[in-house]
Chains A and B, each alone.
Chain A
């Protein structure tokens, strides 16, 4: 019974934290717990904690908007302002020399008529999708494993974490060398790699890109899932054990549903990261073979900083911003992340 109570309280706490209401959760929980007393009946508990929340709210109040000023100013200065300027630039022709010349929607018609541009959006989506599809199961499994108490777990977790500490540039250079067709791994494993021409085919090049980002970023998502898996109440497993559920069943019926929000969080991060992938392409494939891995972010770089056509580069950049925003919004909507539904559904 008392555990019942606790989960209920935690549920409120959690949804509060998630909506970002404030920092003083612990105090509120304590108040709630105290007022809930031993918690004799569920409905009484609910009422008590609501009262506690009201009391708390009237006494302390939410943080004022003043607190948001530094971040807002920073964000406005370094994200919104440049974004507006890029939007303005996309209607001009500018090589970096002399003043930009207004050309109306010329860049936009060129960008939308450009097959490489259209292809690049699909490639970006493909790379993103691959990232999510490969990294999510891996990081969930690793994260749940790392949340346990096994021997050597801490040591192995630390080792798994290393790739994240390296710069993406260094990681790309490293893998370029490891995958060299004549002196790297493919030359010793012809049964797997054939002639080793990984960067000469579209499938090979995209496979390498997906593999390298998986290698580097899985540890980060593992960390998210590890934290979430540790937060799953032990009682759920105890109850399941009493009901005779095995480990696999426990994983699918308790752990996985409980990781719901962390999976959504990490998916959104993967989506944003995937759509803006850049260094791996720059170093590993340079958009090749042909234009087979020219994803939108790299295409923007090509247009603006290699071709010195900053107007077209700005238009490409905006397409990417719009695409990334749309995809993220869809993920948020579909997953119910915006409502921050609790993952304690059905526990009480």
Chain B
């Protein structure tokens, strides 16, 4: 029957059906690859470095070229276009096509590989070159420590989540950037009276909504609650602090802080940044990359009216107001089966070199090495880079985004839970139940 229909050749239906067969095929190929022998690709002395494909690749290529000038064993840079990175990595990492060194987000993104015994603990490297640990900010370095052993060396930059605002909109409403939660609630009220959406939220993407939970849980309960939950202590979610944080979020939502159509707005298609830039919203809670996004869309606004502060403190909360959440950094991890561990160790040493720091700063990334401070003046936007660097340096805790800290299977349920809570479709009990049902490592 299926063959019959296929013969008629509706290109659309065909395409869609291809996805189903595509899954099947991918699964089949994956299986075949598993069964295949472990023959290495070539006898040449080289190792492969796999990174997330985007604009930063040109910096990585220059570093690889620099490394290859002096090294006997050559590094080869491979890239996978952004959106598919995690999927592709997962399907090749246990096959002969696996890279030697690969980009990741630390935390939950590498834990399954550590558990599967695929990754090389880097304590051997740090023993012979202590700078491979001490040259990086501790709050960042911690993210890639699994079961007490380091598994990743920071590369690229840090991306803390900041509260951005439109200076002009705030001034028109007579509002100061809030330093406390009650200040934020007052600002929301004042902006609403002005007919402005107080806070732009790309609810369609769901992870921007999650950022509000991450910060509020931190401010109310301190970083310990989430750490406990992540270790498998499900009672953490029903604690009094958890309920308090949820109550405050509910209060914010009910105050109309996010307008009435946030679920149809996205950050990724430029919707929520445009709300902020056009003056139709006052605030947006977003990763530090939002600065670059705004600059690209409207350089004048980014230079003149785009303000940024840390997330407000919560009165009486247990969390330090200097705590951060976000993408602590990206990391390079090393596969156990690499045939050139010495060369890889040499390559990783480049990640704290002056050259690396300057290159990263020039494209707008903020590395987290201890020598970064020296070069902040050379950054694409010195004031912004310095502000972030100081936040990260002083942060007692830097919590990796929840959806990256949990194993990949938890990502969709987390996103659904935060979205439904904000939309008022579930209450605190429903949210707590959803979080307790998450698979932990």
Contact = CB atoms under 8 A, between A and B. Distances in A.
A273 interface: yes
Given A85-B24, A276-B19, A289 B2 contact: no
A269 B10 contact: yes
Contact of B116 (A97, A199, A307, A321): A97
Contacts of B261: 181-182, 195-197, 200
B374 interface: no
B411 A200 contact: no
B112 A95 contact: yes
B25 A276 contact: no
Nearest to A204: B264
Interface in A89-133: 89, 95-100
A279 B90 contact: no
Interface stretch (B145-153, B176-184, B216-224, B412-420): B412-420
A164 interface: yes
Contacts of B90: 95-97, 308
B11 interface: yes
Contacts of B19: 276, 278-279, 297, 301
A97 B10 contact: no
A100 B412 contact: no
A197 B258 CA distance: 12
Contact of B87 (A273, A291, A305): A305
B206 A272 contact: no
B205 to A, nearest CB: 8
A168 interface: yes
Given A181-B261, A272-B17, A200 B203 contact: yes
B12 A273 contact: yes
A167 to B, nearest CB: 8
Interface of A, helix, strand, loop or mixed by DSSP: helix
Interface in B394-417: 408-412, 416
Contact of A329 (B1, B23, B113): B1
Contact of A307 (B5, B12, B25, B412): B412
A325 to B, nearest CB: 7
A97 to B, nearest CB: 4
Contacts of B266: 176
Contacts of B275: 182
A291 B416 contact: yes
Nearest to A95: B112
Contacts, number: 183
B411 A306 contact: yes
A270 B1 CA distance: 15
B38 to A, nearest CB: 14
A97 B92 CA distance: 9
B271 A265 contact: no
B28 A97 contact: no
Interface string B1-29: 11101001011110111011101110110
A329 B412 CA distance: 34
B269 A176 contact: yes
Contacts of B21: 78-79, 82
Given A216-B12, A308-B90, A177 B269 contact: yes
A272 B5 contact: yes
B411 to A, nearest CB: 6
B263 A289 contact: yes
A329 B4 CA distance: 12
A92 B409 CA distance: 16
B420 A168 contact: no
Given A197-B263, A306-B411, A279 B16 contact: yes
Interface in A164-194: 164, 168, 173, 176-177, 179-183
Given A86-B23, A288-B263, A309-B409, A98 B116 contact: yes
A75 interface: yes
A143 B5 CA distance: 21
B419 A290 contact: yes
B80 interface: no
Contacts of A332: 1
A290 B264 contact: no
B204 interface: yes
Interface residues of B, number: 57
A317 B423 CA distance: 30
Contacts of A310: 27, 30
Nearest to B84: A305
Given A86-B27, A286-B206, A317 B94 contact: no
Contacts of B338: none
A278 B91 CA distance: 21
Contacts of B190: none
Contact of B262 (A168, A200, A291, A314): A200
Interface string A257-273: 00000000100111011
Interface in B62-96: 87, 90-91, 93-94
Interface string A23-56: 0000000000000000000000000000000000
B31 interface: yes
B280 interface: yes
Nearest to B411: A306
A328 B265 CA distance: 37
A317 B23 contact: yes
B131 to A, nearest CB: 32
Contacts of B412: 287, 302, 306-307
B292 interface: no
Nearest to B262: A200
A123 to B, nearest CB: 15
Given A182-B265, A307-B411, A89 B31 contact: yes
B12 A180 contact: no
A273 B17 CA distance: 7
Interface in B415-436: 416, 419-420, 423, 425
Contact of A220 (B1, B12, B265): B12
A272 B13 contact: yes
B260 interface: yes
A89 to B, nearest CB: 6
Nearest to A75: B3
Given A180-B271, A306-B411, 9 more contacts: A78-B21, A97-B116, A98-B94, A180-B269, A182-B274, A199-B264, A301-B19, A304-B23, A325-B2
28 contacts: A78-B21, A86-B23, A97-B118, A99-B34, A100-B31, A182-B261, A182-B275, A195-B260, A197-B261, A197-B264, A200-B261, A200-B263, A200-B423, A272-B2, A273-B13, A273-B16, A273-B17, A276-B19, A276-B20, A277-B16, A279-B16, A289-B263, A290-B419, A290-B425, A291-B416, A304-B27, A308-B90, A317-B23
Q: Can you list the 4 inter-chain pairs with the closest CB atoms, starting with the nearest?
A: A200-B263, A82-B24, A273-B13, A197-B261
Interface of B: 1-3, 5, 8, 10-13, 15-17, 19-21, 23-25, 27-28, 30-31, 34, 87, 90-91, 93-94, 112-113, 116, 118, 203-204, 206, 260-266, 269, 271, 274-275, 280, 408-412, 416, 419-420, 423, 425
